[in-house]
Structures are given as structure tokens and as C-alpha cells.
Amino acid sequence: CIKGRYGFLPFFFFFYWADQSIPPAFIKKLTKKDTILGSSIQMECKVSGSLPITAKWFKDGKEITDSAKYRSLCHENTMSLEIANLELADSANYTCSVSNVAGNDSCSAVLTPPSFLIKPESQQAIPDSTVEFKATLKGTPPFTVKWFKEDLELVSGPTCFIGIEGSTGFLTLYSVDTSKSGHYTCHVSNDVGSDSCTTTLMVTGVHSFLLCCSLFIYFFSFFFCQTHLSDLWYTAK
């Protein structure tokens, strides 16, 4: 029982305060910090709205609880989730759901390890020509791409250029010679994993190339003549 002339004022002010509260909204959606497999990752977002704001995290729709693996943090309007000892099993759709007395909001981010949608093809080349290997990637960017010849990592310089445009990584080799023949490996990584594939380059000497062309022309001419002579013989007969 509430007594007194102003007995209902506390309730009035409570409902007035709730009515003036601002619902949460994401002003900075989920982001990731660079890390490597076996390390830790922190996903972070920022929200606007009236405090206090409560945050819950979900992995593929299942709520995450704090443990040795996961730790959720909330400081004013910044929400973050730390994932320890990152492994491929952590690849999933992560959702941050926030709420206050005025409403709620959520945002998601998918963590997917990189893989090759299209692998670089093996190539043959002649000396002094330019060769380009391309690999189309899939997964969660940003990607880090490295190229190796055998076990030696390549770096951009006078003899080659390494780059990435969108989801395509490429290696360009300038003025190749026979020493450039060998196995080339493309290694791609992101925050949640890595993958690699190997291709081959065969640089054929000019003399070998001309010899192959000559042999091709010779055998082509030989079979053409044989076929033509046979047709003439059958016609004459």
C-alpha cells in the first residue's frame, strides 16, 4: 500500500525515464584483430543507446557462456568476445545481441578459413617471357598471401611481383629463364586458418622449343602427305 500525496511519483518518473531511453544500435559492427591459428582472437563492436546495455553472444545460434575458451567483455558501449586457442572448429557465424530497457539490436560476422576456389595452373614458357600465376580465394578477408619457389619465399622485386586484388592472389615472373623452372606454392591465411597449393613452371630453352616446333611440323607434314598419297592411290586404283 502506497501512502502520501506523492506516493505515485516514483512510478511516474520510472515510466517517464524508460520512455525517454534510446534503444541500442550498432555504430561499429563486429571487427577482428589479426591473429594466427593457435592464438587468440577478439571480435569487437560498439553500440549507441541508453545505458545500461546488456550483451549476449551466439555461435551459430547457440548462446556462448564464459569459459576457458570464450570470454565476453562489456565496457560502457564497447562489446567484445575473446576466443582462446583458435582452431578450425571455431569457424562459424558469430552474433552479438544487445538490449536495454528501450529495445534491442544484433549484428553478425562469419569467420571462415581460407581455401582455393580456383588453383593456379601449371605453365610452360620460353626464356625472356613473362609468366603469371593466379589463385582465386574464398573465406573471410582480409587475406595474407605468400608465394614460395620450392622452400624459398619470394618477395616483390626486379624479377617478380606479388599482389592481391579482392579475392585473387597473383604472382608475376619477369624475363624467366630455365632456372625459374620448378614448383611454386601459394600460401594463403586469414584470422582463422590457412591453406596452400602447389603448381609447376617449366621454362623450355629456345633450342628445345624450336626443336619441338620442327618435330611437330615434320610429323604433321608426314601424316598429311601419307594420307594424301593414300587417297590418290585409292582414286587411281
pLDDT per position as a tens digit, 50-67: 989 999 999 999 999 999
199 confidence band (pLDDT: 50, 70, 90): very high
Query: Out of 3.40.50.300, 3.90.550.10, 3.30.300.30, 2.60.40.10, which CATH number does the structure's domain 115-204 have?
Result: 2.60.40.10
Letter string b/e over residues 172-204, b meaning 16 or more CB atoms within 10 A of that residue's CB: ebeebeeebeeebbbbbbbbbbbbeeebebebb
Q: What is the pLDDT of residue 1?
A: 42
Burial of 47 (0-12, 13-18, 19+ CB in 10 A): buried
Strand partners, 42: 82
Lowest mean pLDDT among 76-80, 98-102, 115-119, 204-208: 204-208
171 confidence band (pLDDT: 50, 70, 90): very high
182 confidence band (pLDDT: 50, 70, 90): very high
15 confidence band (pLDDT: 50, 70, 90): very low
**What is the chain's mean pLDDT, rounded?**
82
Does 161 have pLDDT greater than 50?
Answer: yes
Peptide bond into 142 cis (omega under 30): yes
111 confidence band (pLDDT: 50, 70, 90): confident
pTM exceeding 0.75? no
Query: For 80-108, what is the mean pLDDT?
Result: 89
Task: With beta carbons less than 8 A apart as the criterion, state whether 155 and 91 touch.
Answer: no
Q: Do domains 9-111 and 115-204 have the same CATH topology?
A: yes
Q: What is the pLDDT of residue 12?
A: 46
16 confidence band (pLDDT: 50, 70, 90): very low
CATH of domain 9-111: 2.60.40.10
Domain spans, the chain: 9-111, 115-204
